[in-house]
Amino acid sequence: MIAFDEPTGTWVLSTPASSYALRRGEDGPRHVYWGPRLPPERIARLPVRARARDEIIGDELPGEGGERFGLAALRLAFADGTRAVDWVHSGHEIDGGHLVIRLSDRHHPVRLELHYRVHEDTDVLERWAVLRHTGTDEPVAVERFDAAAWTLPPRPDYRRSHVTGEWSAEFQLHRAPVAHGETTIVTRQGTARHQSNPWLMVDTGEATEEHGEVWSVALAWSGTWRITTRRTPGDDLVITAGAGHDGTVRRLDPGTEIRTPPCLGLYSRGGFGETSRRWHSFVRQHILPRPDEPRPVLYNSWEGTWFDVNEATVRELATAAASLGVELFVLDDGWFAGRTTDAAGLGDWWPDPDRFPHGLGPLIAEVHRLGMRFGLWVEPEMVNPDSDLYRAHPDWVLHMPHRPRTEIRNQLVLNFARPDVVTWAHTWLDRLLRDNAVDFLKWDMNRPFTEAGWPAGPDPQRLWFAHTEGVYTILDRLRADHPRLRMETCASGGGRVDLGILRRTDQAWTSDNTDPVDRIAIQHGFSQLYPALIMGSWASQSPNPLNNRPTPLRFRMHVAMAGVLGISGDLRTWSTVDIAEAATLIAQYKQIRPIVQHGHLYRLTPTDHDVTAVQYVTDDRAESVVLIWRRFSRPSRATRPLRLAGLDPAATYTTPDGSHHGGDVLLHHGIDPDLPPGDHASTLVRLRRSGS
Ligand code: DGJ
């Protein structure tokens, strides 16, 4: 709901449990309030905190000019050398939950629209901005154009939470005080990548998993991005977030406009746990294309075969996977022309004639006959120099004249800002899907941008944005034209997981690290914003191919069952005992899948405890699943009861063995984890409300 109080010029945006307010000002709207829901008429009477001691603060999208010494979320350079903006309010519109505020520069021909959207079923509010050149003469240089700046109330002990990491160690949760001055998390690599992820949470220094105020912002964008916190000496805090990084200056030509991707914001009083659950609900309700569909149990060939695939091997693996109860068989890298190592083949997207002499058709038919769907790995944005495509089109890659073309994993990046490259990629993908009954694509992206140039391009820096838009265009068209198609986002593991790509994919590959011990922390960080419904997790080989750690199959499976369960590894070498156990656990996963994938997540412990656990509870609190993992066993430490969450205290819950537990006892005292002795022990507890 959006209300406008005419006498004070205050817009109040109300969500079920929060309010956000801003007020019309002489030179653009100023922030008034973001916190627990209050009656709009009371918020309208609140004063604007428009100045800190020595400067103007609280702009909804600060530019340069006047006593503004903070970071400009909108940084323009006009042809006459002017950098300051001078806005005048030129109107607003409210259409249901959508507010647009229009500003015009008093002298230069630019107009700015600030957009806000609220929904009735979520506290997440959406913001974006549009900048238009209304003149006919010189272009304007757009040096920074964030989607939103978020002003928080002054508090003495602000703390920030975000994820950092690297390949195979993505989503490591990091929590530290907000420094005075400016702190930026940024990627300059072309996609979100592994080093960070485009979201940030801020609390008052005392929030826990269960309690405390948390403000969080997230970008729905898959290209490079920046999120900056600015804490003034007086402890005012502004978070500004948007697409692009330093140096990605775009030209705004007369008659054209630039629209930012959305930046989403959420205020919650229930600590980090409730913050995550609200984001999870939002992702399900407003981001994912098909949120209600259960995600299938998949098998992926990568850790079973690496590049060594051929029709006979794949048939054997498919037979074994089907016997486990797998529902989706994914043929990973190595199926296309010349792809026997990572040194060749990318760009030549037809089945390798030596290894798949009959094409993919008979194989797909066999996978379908076995009762599974068929998925295929692709990496459309990439080319190996050793490929027919590159030999024909060396100018299609990102490059700069007189500079080396840096190869990473022996590959170069195709310039998806070029319409001809986008048409080429869409054409072969569309044909692949028309000619073959492919049900699922895993879209990978295995290297960052380097020498990101487009010598003949109209506006070279624009490629940083247009490349991502090109990817989105193809994904959107494929989904529209092939309604049965489901997709997985992947970039060397979890290098492209964000709310922008998730609008057009169904799940994400979380990390190339399938070691269950490492995976617990990766999944913990992933779950801060993203729901289990999209978190691809494989139980793979032991010892793990990456770090050589041996772990029992049950532990590997129980960790993977916390998300979208998958299997990888060479099933031909698995013992009959392991095959039988995997089949039993897959069958069990299918029973608990609705609770895990569509329930509410409670992280019961920090990840540095010896015993860690997550719990999922259905909306009506009738069913719950607890996954408990002990990474390392220490003889001196007795196992403590594990307090559960989210249950109905007045109800009685029953476990499959028939024992009864009061909801209040489970919440306040807990359950005995009852883990077998030793390292890498795990268990799954299922609870059903008696009478449900
Ligand atoms: C990186 C992905 O994360 C892996 O799962 C696998 O698909 C390889 N690429 C294949 O090259």
Active site residues: 444, 512
Gap from CA of 280 to ligand 1 centroid (Å): 26
76 beta partners: 142
DSSP 286: I
| DSSP per residue, 293-327 | SPPPPEEESHHHHTT---HHHHHHHHHHHHHHT-S
pLDDT less than 70: residues of the chain: 636-638
Which tokens go with 68?
């503004």
Which tokens go with 579?
């095959």
In short, whether 302's Cβ falls inside 6 Å of ligand 1 is: yes
From 330, 333, 488, 522, the mutation candidate for ligand 1 (largest count of ligand atoms within 8 A of CB) is 333
The per-residue pLDDT for 639 is: 77
Cα angle 163, 165, 167; round to 5: 140
Gap from CA of 519 to ligand 1 centroid (Å): 17
The per-residue pLDDT for 143 is: 97
Nearest by Cα to 621 from 659, 588, 595: 595
Gap from CA of 334 to ligand 1 centroid (Å): 10
From 301, 377, 489, 567, the mutation candidate for ligand 1 (largest count of ligand atoms within 8 A of CB) is 377
The per-residue pLDDT for 630 is: 95
Measured distance CA(511)–CA(488) in Å, rounded: 13
Nearest by Cα to 218 from 166, 286, 154, 153: 286
Query: Strand order of the sheet with strand 74-77?
Result: 74-77, 140-145, 250-252
In short, whether 170's Cβ falls inside 6 Å of ligand 1 is: no
From 342, 507, 509, the mutation candidate for ligand 1 (largest count of ligand atoms within 8 A of CB) is 509
Output the 3-class SS for 216-267: EEEECCCCCEEEEEEECCCCCEEEEEEECCCCCCEEECCCCEEECCCEEEEE
The per-residue pLDDT for 542 is: 97
3-class DSSP state for residue 628?
strand
In short, whether 492's Cβ falls inside 6 Å of ligand 1 is: yes
Distance of CA 203 to CAs 122, 156, 159, Å? 20, 11, 5
3-class DSSP state for residue 287?
helix
Per-residue pLDDT of 201-210, as tens digits, reads 999 999 999 9
Per-residue pLDDT of 52-109, as tens digits, reads 888 999 999 999 999 999 999 999 999 999 999 999 999 999 999 999 999 999 999 9
Gap from CA of 58 to ligand 1 centroid (Å): 44
Measured distance CA(556)–CA(564) in Å, rounded: 13
The per-residue pLDDT for 527 is: 98
H-helix or E-strand spanning residue 275:
helix 271-282
Gap from CA of 450 to ligand 1 centroid (Å): 20
Give the global pTM. 0.98
Q: Which residues neighbour 30 within 8 Å (Cβ) at sequence distance 6 or greater?
A: 22, 23, 48, 50, 58, 59, 60
Average pLDDT, the chain: 97
Measured distance CA(429)–CA(54) in Å, rounded: 57
Residue pair 238/150 in contact (Cβ under 8 Å)? The answer is yes
Residue nearest to atom 10 of ligand 1 (CA): 333
In short, whether 509's Cβ falls inside 6 Å of ligand 1 is: yes
Residue pair 663/646 in contact (Cβ under 8 Å)? The answer is no
The per-residue pLDDT for 52 is: 83
Output the 3-class SS for 518-582: HHHHHHHHHCCCCCHHHEEEEECCCCCCCCCCCCCHHHHHHHHCCCEEEEECCHHHCCHHHHHHH
Q: Is the peptide bond before 543 cis (omega within 30 degrees of 0)?
A: yes
Ligand 1 atom nearest to CA at 300? 5
Measured distance CA(321)–CA(440) in Å, rounded: 16
Nearest by Cα to 297 from 569, 521, 563, 523: 563
Gap from CA of 333 to ligand 1 centroid (Å): 7
Neighbours of 613 (CB within 10 A): 24
Q: Would you mind telling me the total number of residues written for the chain in this entry?
A: 692
Ligand 1 atom nearest to CA at 302? 6
Distance of CA 631 to CAs 519, 552, 681, Å? 11, 11, 7
Sign of dihedral through CA atoms 617, 622, 623, 629?
positive
Which tokens go with 447?
């290297």
3-class DSSP state for residue 460?
helix
Residue pair 15/123 in contact (Cβ under 8 Å)? The answer is yes
In short, whether 377's Cβ falls inside 6 Å of ligand 1 is: yes
Ligand 1 atom nearest to CA at 342? 11
Residue pair 596/590 in contact (Cβ under 8 Å)? The answer is no
Residue nearest to atom 11 of ligand 1 (CA): 333
In short, whether 444's Cβ falls inside 6 Å of ligand 1 is: yes
DSSP 484: T
Say if strands 373-378 and 214-219 run parallel, antiparallel, or are unpaired.
Answer: unpaired
In short, whether 304's Cβ falls inside 6 Å of ligand 1 is: no
Gap from CA of 310 to ligand 1 centroid (Å): 17
Ligand 1 atom nearest to CA at 377? 7
3-state helix, strand and coil shares in percent for the chain, rounded to the nearest 5: 20, 30, 45
The per-residue pLDDT for 560 is: 98
Residue pair 128/261 in contact (Cβ under 8 Å)? The answer is yes
In short, whether 334's Cβ falls inside 6 Å of ligand 1 is: no
The per-residue pLDDT for 611 is: 93
Measured distance CA(222)–CA(498) in Å, rounded: 6
Gap from CA of 441 to ligand 1 centroid (Å): 13
Residue pair 578/567 in contact (Cβ under 8 Å)? The answer is no
In short, whether 379's Cβ falls inside 6 Å of ligand 1 is: no
H-helix or E-strand spanning residue 664:
helix 663-668
Q: Which residues neighbour 358 within 8 Å (Cβ) at sequence distance 6 or greater?
A: 311
The per-residue pLDDT for 636 is: 65
Which tokens go with 351?
């089945």
Nearest by Cα to 391 from 423, 431, 348: 348
Residue nearest to atom 2 of ligand 1 (CA): 492
3-class DSSP state for residue 69?
coil
Nearest by Cα to 216 from 203, 198, 230, 201: 201
Measured distance CA(673)–CA(614) in Å, rounded: 12
Measured distance CA(304)–CA(306) in Å, rounded: 6
In short, whether 335's Cβ falls inside 6 Å of ligand 1 is: no
Gap from CA of 493 to ligand 1 centroid (Å): 7
Measured distance CA(611)–CA(608) in Å, rounded: 8
Residue nearest to atom 9 of ligand 1 (CA): 492
The per-residue pLDDT for 208 is: 97
| DSSP per residue, 394-455 | GGGB---TTS----BTTBEEB-TTSHHHHHHHHHHHHHHHHHS---EEEE---S---S---T
Residue pair 197/529 in contact (Cβ under 8 Å)? The answer is yes
Neighbours of 280 (CB within 10 A): 22
Residue nearest to atom 6 of ligand 1 (CA): 302
In short, whether 490's Cβ falls inside 6 Å of ligand 1 is: yes
Say if strands 564-568 and 298-300 run parallel, antiparallel, or are unpaired.
Answer: parallel
Residue pair 129/61 in contact (Cβ under 8 Å)? The answer is yes
The per-residue pLDDT for 652 is: 98
Rg over alpha carbons for the chain, rounded to the nearest Å, is 26
DSSP 278: H
DSSP 351: B
Residue pair 214/272 in contact (Cβ under 8 Å)? The answer is yes
In short, whether 333's Cβ falls inside 6 Å of ligand 1 is: yes
